[in-house]
Amino acid sequence: TASSGLPVRVDLLTGHFDAINVQHKSTCMRDLQGVFSDDAARKALPEDFEVYHVEMLASPQQEGELHTGTTHLMPGKVADEFFMTRGHFHQRREQAEFYFGLRGEGILLLQPENAPAYTEQVFAGSVHHIPSFTAHRLVNTGHDVLSALAVWPVIAGHDYQSLQPDGFRIRVFDRDGKVSLEVAGV
């Protein structure tokens, strides 16, 4: 006879997993050197403040398998620039990814290797295809935690280096209470 196990649950309002084997990765202010346009302002903030954390289900580490994880990005700013993830290309550039907005309000920055950068609004229910060869970064433009569920190939890996020293061409600031997308070098 067939058997039926209890599946893992995710709370779709928060992205929290109810599973035995959840891994956590925390990124604090001290880890984000050089990420914000005003690094002196970043240094002046508490270094152990957690800007975002990722909770992930355990996945088999082999080609063809997929990671599933939720990023929780705090609201806040470094000077006038909204909190954001470090952002990355996948080490394996051809590997794509999906993001699903669960709560909060933000912007997904997308930067193809050989095409202009663009953005998508992130909100509860938003679905985002991150194409191959495209760097990606989440920005929290709201007053609450921004949480997004992601699914990506385990072989994708991260390349944080290729975006240095200037980072993404689009940056997101709070200018007098308005969300302002600003293109570097303009």
Burial class (CB in 10 A: 0-12, 13-18, 19+), 136: buried
Burial class (CB in 10 A: 0-12, 13-18, 19+), 125: exposed
β 50-57/118-122 pair status: unpaired
**Interface mask (CB under 5 A) for Ni ion, residues 87-106, using x and -?**
----------x---------
Count of positions on this chain that bind Ni ion (CB under 5 A): 1
What's the CA gap between 91 and 25, in Å, rounded? 19
Nearest to 157 by CA among 72, 54, 63: 63
**Interface mask (CB under 6 A) for ligand 6PG, residues 127-166, using x and -?**
---------x-x-----------x-x---x-x--------
Decide: is 107 part of the binding site for ligand 6PG (CB under 6 A): no
What's the CA gap between 39 and 153, in Å, rounded? 33
122 binds, options ligand 6PG, Ni ion, none, Cβ within 5 to 8 A by partner type: none
Count of positions on this chain that bind ligand 6PG (CB under 6 A): 15
To Ni ion, the closest distance from the beta carbon of 90 in angstroms equals 6
Can you give the binding site for ligand 6PG, defined by CB under 6 A? 27, 54, 69, 71, 85-88, 97, 136, 138, 150, 152, 156, 158
